[in-house]
Structure 1
Amino acid sequence: MRLQGKRIFISAAAQGMGRASALACAAQGAEVIAVDINAEGLASLEVENAAITTHVLDMRDGAAIKALAAQLPPLDGLFNCAGFVHNGTVLDCTDADWEFSFSLNVQSMFHTIQAFLPGMLERGKQTGGGAILNMASMASSVKGFPNRFLYGTTKAAVIGLTKGIAADFVKQNLRCNALCPATVDTPSLRSRIASAADPVQAEKDFIARQPMGRLATVDDITPMVVFLLSDESRFVTGQAVVVDGGVTI
């Protein structure tokens, strides 16, 4: 039980990577607080594991995040998983696209960390420290991809945010890392594939850029989530941890 006794907050937990991470952390003994805007998805998550409690929360609502943080006990771990993938070049990006993507992909992390960090620091005095994990991507400052202008920009910002927090609080035993996965086979990806002009070719294109010849599964990524939220990674901070199946070799 690698997360026994730890209280961990996970956003975007109703499906995909967030859901898989909530279940993986609970399976390792954590008390998981799972949030999402999708109430139905959260309800089924609670049924799967009694160690998970859920709250409906819009991660773009800073006031709501702050209010929830005030109600909850201090955390040991925080996984900012919420995000949106915009498709297109700089010429396809509107002001509304820019504002929405930064609100969900970056500003939500700012609000969440700002709301929960004081309690984490205080709790860390007794437990030896806490861990923040932010979902970035291999499409970021790590590597550029066609038609991922806005997504890559926001995820590069996430890496910068992560390193800044890591530097500011390293002496207080607060670790902060970013996770940069490859293309993961999730409901979000399936929705993007289905919306393509040629879904069959779109799936082939996603797979073709993976040297291992397949998409990542959530089970390829969750072990790293557990590791970075556990005490096993107690000497790891400020890192953009790439789990990409060889894309950036």
Structure 2
Amino acid sequence: MRGLSGLNALVTGGASGIGLATAWLLAACDADVAVLDLDPSAVPEPLRGYRADVSDDDMVRTAVDAAASDLSGLDIVVNNAGIGAVGTVEDGDEGQWHRVFDVNVMGVVRTTRAALPHLRASAHAAVVNVCSIAATAGLPQRALYSASKGALQSLTLAMAADHVREGIRVNCVNPGTVDTPWVGRLLDQAADPAAERAALNARQPLGRLVSADEVAAAIVYLASPAAASVTGAALAVDGGMQGLRLRPAGQ
């Protein structure tokens, strides 16, 4: 995947977690990379940081246009920015439901439509949306988050159909539980963080959380010319959570 020389990439939520791992890998594969984030101050070189809140259309358009200008175009957009939510349909007020959809779904809409004029000028245009295992598997205490990620997977398919004849590929990755700062904060809030981490590890057939670098590798593959015939796909990076049904250990 070192064939990204001459390609320009934009990653939202790229200052930490999956986004930062993806931005680093894109840069290691010789792409020029711009990062959009609420706080891009800590984004290290050679990555270029731009401040943007994906729930603010004006900020997104300004940041995307600035990045495209500085990079002399855009070939790859990785829609990674997102927020989580815990609880059933009884939990969280309507404001929280609107907020999560505004970031997790509309944030992808805002960023992609701002980037489309630049992507149409590329010979290797690709959009990769960071979805979740929550889009395809029923997880407890994740009603709002799951609903937003289910919408994002459907949106990915619709976008792929809309733009395939423009030469723009659109795919998504569906990570399992990833060892990110957000998951770490959730674990810290648990009554027994060590027991909660052990439970998260145990529900994944591989017996451990997915790493941000593993998700980044899948994203970069889908974004690269190596995946030129892949569009409208959802690539699971979930340790087997979605497809495998194992007997309890020892049986």
TM-score normalised by structure 2 residue count: 0.92
**RMSD of aligned C-alpha atoms?**
1.2
Q: In structure 2, give the amino acid aligned to 1:243.
A: V
**Mapping of residues 227-238 of structure 1, within 5 Å:** 227-238=221-232
**Mapping of residues 1-249 of structure 1, within 5 Å:** 1-42=2-43, 45-46=44-45, 50=46, 52-71=47-66, 72-73=68-69, 74-121=73-120, 123-124=121-122, 127=123, 129-140=124-135, 142-249=136-243
- Does the aligned pair in 2 maintain the 1:84–1:104 contact within 8 Å? yes
Deviation at 1:57, TM superposition (A): 1.3
Once the two structures are superposed, residues 189-213 of structure 1 have per-residue CA deviations (whole angstroms, 9 ceiling, x without a partner) of 1011001222122111211111111
Deviation at 1:218, TM superposition (A): 1.4
Deviation at 1:69, TM superposition (A): 2.6
- Does the aligned pair in 1 maintain the 2:210–2:237 contact within 8 Å? no
Q: In structure 2, give the amino acid aligned to 1:32.
A: V
Structure 2: unaligned runs, 5 residues or longer: 244-251
Secondary structure of the equivalent of 2:105? helix
Deviation at 1:219, TM superposition (A): 2.0
- Does the aligned pair in 2 maintain the 1:185–1:217 contact within 8 Å? yes
Secondary structure of the equivalent of 1:146? coil
Aligned length: 238
- Does the aligned pair in 1 maintain the 2:119–2:125 contact within 8 Å? yes
Q: In structure 2, give the amino acid aligned to 1:15.
A: S
Which range moved further: 64-73 or 76-85? 64-73
Deviation at 1:171, TM superposition (A): 1.2
Residues of 2 paired with 1:143 and 1:2: CA distance?
Answer: 34
Q: In structure 1, give the amino acid aligned to 2:4.
A: L
Residues of 1 paired with 2:89 and 2:106: CA distance?
Answer: 20
Deviation at 1:244, TM superposition (A): 0.8
- Does the aligned pair in 2 maintain the 1:15–1:41 contact within 8 Å? no
Residues of 2 paired with 1:70 and 1:211: CA distance?
Answer: 43
Residues of 1 paired with 2:235 and 2:126: CA distance?
Answer: 14
Q: Percent identity?
A: 34
Residues of 1 paired with 2:42 and 2:179: CA distance?
Answer: 18
Deviation at 1:221, TM superposition (A): 1.5
Secondary structure of the equivalent of 1:78? strand
Deviation at 1:68, TM superposition (A): 2.1
Deviation at 1:40, TM superposition (A): 3.7
**Relative to structure 1, is the Cα distance of residues 113 and 33 closer, same or farther in structure 2, using a 3 angstrom cutoff?**
same
Residues of 1 paired with 2:14 and 2:213: CA distance?
Answer: 15
